[in-house]
Amino acid sequence: MTVTIVVVSHSEKIADGATELAAQMAPDVLILPAGGTDDGRIGTSLEKVLAALGKAGEDGAVVIADLGSAVMTAESALEFAGDPPDVVLADAPLVEGLVAAAVAAQGGADVRGVRRAAEAVRGPGRRPLPSASDAVAEGVTGAGPDYTGDFELVNQAGMHARPAAKIAGGLASLDAEVAVNGVDGTSMTALMTLAAGKGSVLHVEAWGVDAERAVNYVGGLVQAGFGEP
Amino acid sequence: MVLDVNWTVKWLTLCAQAMAEHRLELIELDRAIGDSDHGENMDRGFQAVLAKLDEDMPETPGAALKMTAMTLMSKVGGAAGPLYGTAFLRAATAVGDAIEVEPAAWAGALAAARDGIVARGKAEPGDKTMVDAWTPAVDAARVVADGGSPDVLDVLVAAAEAAEAGAVATDPLVARKGRASYLGERSAGHRDPGAVSTALILRAAVGAAA
């Protein structure tokens, strides 16, 4: 069982479509759409969101909503349900956030990890990530990354959405700060901005308890070509 | 006069009546500075509350308020759904399972409702939203409720009058929250529809006690 994800949108079609898209990348994750009003209009429905939360698995749920009042409906649903500790709202763009969240859930992340993966797609990512050269310049020792690795992209398409989602999603479930070519490794959009094609080398730096696992995780994915040609 | 479940049901019924009567007025107000769905949404929401009351008569004021919260959040659709839904939900929690709600407790329930709207919508007084009707209503209700041997009807009247004055006072304001805020300065000169529907709801509370 993984974390369940509930998708709250003003539009039933958006919720269903985003769910369909994310499910492709996360086949074992229960993703529940809650879009539109009860009578199929544009809007959001507390009953639909509560019904989805009622179907969530025992590993908790992350709720992702689209615009203004969908967020309010999602918050209201959490309040109505008595603010259960294992149900959280992610402040993330619906489609990108959902995909990143779904991949993180597929990778076994808990509710905090899944939320973190969703929210990391927002911007340039968590900062600051100290680099080894900064540490030398400031005369500080031991501030360099705990583990590093360099991996050449071997798949034809290089770094595109699916590989970025896999890297970001998996890293979100680890207790490590990870930089890939200087950007936040848990941010799907930041990874995509690297625009790294086939033959490019990803320089991975990791800090923290799971630093070694993080570097090995990225290395394993890259060397396997992300399972792509 | 006591605030019991009969009063609560009559209040909700009068709310539905008021939303139906003022549907076009709310649509017109919302057309000027929003997306013109407020009248339609509020009417639909309270009609759904009436249908729920037909199905299942609540036993306490709190149960009636909670049912209203759930229904409005599910049926209204726009931002007014979660905002009014949260207001009724917080009021329901505030009155608990009391059979009759005392004047001071009702003033407290109104304050809880307003706090819920502020928490959910993040609007402050002066932003040209329903908060500009709720806040003076809460203050006026509390003043009367805190006086010696308050009469509950006086609390309801004070809240309704203050909400109506608060709604009128939104006319010159420039909206800082919600869709009206997209209009910037052009939102001035129009009354906020959410403040007007709040005044209608609190006026219906007086009618139910009369």
pLDDT tens string A210-229: 999 999 999 999 999 998 88
CB contact under 8 A, A76 and B86: yes
Average pLDDT over residues A34-52: 90
SS3 A31: strand
Q: Quick count: other Cβ atoms within 10 Å of Cβ A219? A: 15
Q: Which residue in the block uniquely carries the two structure tokens 């928490």?
A: B119
> Vertex B71, ends B65 and B77: CA angle to 5°?
130
pLDDT in tens, A77-114: 999 888 899 999 999 999 999 998 998 898 888 999 89
A69:B73 CB<8 A: no
Q: Does the beta-carbon distance from B77 to A43 stay under 8 Å?
A: yes
Cβ–Cβ under 8 Å, residues B155 and B107:
yes
Identify the pLDDT of residue A168: 87
* pLDDT confidence of residue B179: 81
Mean pLDDT of B113-119: 97
**Location of structure tokens 């209040």:** B11
B5: CB partners within 8 A, 6+ apart: B58, B59, B60, B61, B63, B64, B99
Kindly give the pairing relationship between strand A4-9 and strand A61-65: parallel
pLDDT in tens, A110-168: 999 899 889 887 755 444 444 444 444 444 445 688 999 999 999 998 988 888 888 98
What's the CA gap between B47 and B25, in Å, rounded? 17
Q: Quick check: A69 and B75 CB within 8 A?
A: no
Q: Look at B74 and A45 and tell me if their CB atoms are within 8 Å.
A: yes
- Does the beta carbon of B47 lie under 8 angstroms from any beta carbon of chain A? no
Is A160 in the active site? no
> Which of A76, A78, A89, A91 should one mutate to test binding to chain B, selecting the residue with the greatest count of B CBs within 10 A?
A76
Q: How far, in Å, CA of A157 to CA of A153, rounded?
A: 9
Measure CA A68 to chain center.
21
Q: Any alpha helices (H) in B5-102, and if so which ranges?
A: 5-21, 23-33, 38-55, 61-75, 80-95
Q: Which of residues 113-152 of B touch A (CB under 8 A)?
A: 120-121
Separation between Cα atoms, residue A203 and residue A153, nearest integer Å: 11
If you average pLDDT over residues A7-26, what whole number do you get? 95
Residues A44-77 pLDDT 10s: 999 999 999 999 989 999 999 998 789 999 999 9
Could you tell me if A91 lies within 8 Å of chain B, comparing CB atoms?
no
Going along chain A from its start, the domains and CATH numbers come out as 4-119 (3.40.50.510), 132-227 (3.30.1340.10)
User: What is the mean predicted confidence (pLDDT) over B63-84?
Assistant: 92
Q: Are A211 and A144 in contact (CB under 8 A)?
A: no
* Segment A170-202, tens digit of pLDDT: 888 888 899 999 998 988 888 888 888 999 999
How many whole angstroms separate alpha carbon A9 and alpha carbon A32? 11
Nearest-neighbour CA in chain A from B30: distance (Å): 16
